[in-house]
Amino acid sequence: MNLYLVESQVNGWDASQLEASLQKVEPHAELLEAQASPQDSRLYVILLASDEATAKSAFEQSGLSAQLVKQVRLVGQDLETVRQRKAKANYLVEWNLPAGLTMEAYLRRKAEKSPLYAQVPEVKFERTYVCEDMSKCLCFYDSPDEQTVLKAREVVGAPVDHITTIQNIR
C-alpha cells in the first residue's frame, strides 16, 4: 500500500457533511487523515491505496472531485502516530520544492535541520508529506498562531509558499 495526497476544492463546506462524504471512501481505500482549510476552502486527504488510480477512484466515491492526486512519503511520524495525533495539527505549510532537489537531499536536510525546532518550543512539528515526484511538500504543525509557525520555518531555514489553518475532519 502507498500513501496518496488528494486535494479538493470544497466551497461552503460543513465539517459534518464532509465527514459523511468521506465515509464513502473507506471501503475502497484507507483514509488516513482529512484536513480542511476554512480560509482556502481546500480539503487535504491522505489515503492508503494500492495505486494512484485506486486512490482517485476511492476519493471520488465521496462525491467530491479531486483537483490533485499524488503519491507521497510520510516524514516525521509513522502511520500509527498520525492516526493518534491527526487532530493535533492546526496549521499546514505548503512548499513548492525547487527543481533538481532529490528525495535523498531533502531527507538529509530535514534530518539536519529538524533539531532546530527546539529553539521555538511553542510550536510542534507534526509531520510532512513529500510528493514522490518532488514537486511539493505539506508540513503540519501544532501552534498557537501563524507567526510562531513562520518563526519555526525561519529557524530551520525552510521556505513557505502558502500557510493556512486546518481543521481535522476525519
Q: In what order do the strands lie in the sheet with 162-165?
A: 162-165, 91-96, 136-142, 124-131, 68-75, 2-9, 42-49, 30-37, 167-168
CA-CA distance, 141 to 7, in Å (whole number)? 18
Chain-centroid distance, C-alpha 74: 9
Residues of the chain with pLDDT under 70: none
Q: How many domains does the chain have?
A: 1
Q: Which pLDDT score is estimated for 15? A: 87
**Residues written for the chain:** 170
* Amino acid present at 13: W
Q: Which domain holds residue 90?
A: 2-168
At 17 the three-state DSSP class reads: helix
* pLDDT tens-digit series, residues 61-110: 999 999 999 999 999 999 999 999 999 999 999 999 999 999 999 999 99
Q: Please give the span between the terminal C-alpha atoms of the chain, in angstroms, as a whole number.
A: 20
CATH number, residue 53: 3.30.70.3090
Q: Which pLDDT score is estimated for 55? A: 97
Q: For residue 117, count CB atoms less than 10 angstroms from its CB and return exposed for 0-12, middle for 13-18, buried for 19 or more.
A: middle
Q: Which pLDDT score is estimated for 63? A: 93
Q: Which pLDDT score is estimated for 146? A: 97
Asked if residue 141 lies in contact with residue 89, where contact means CB atoms within 8 angstroms, the answer is yes
pTM of the model: 0.95
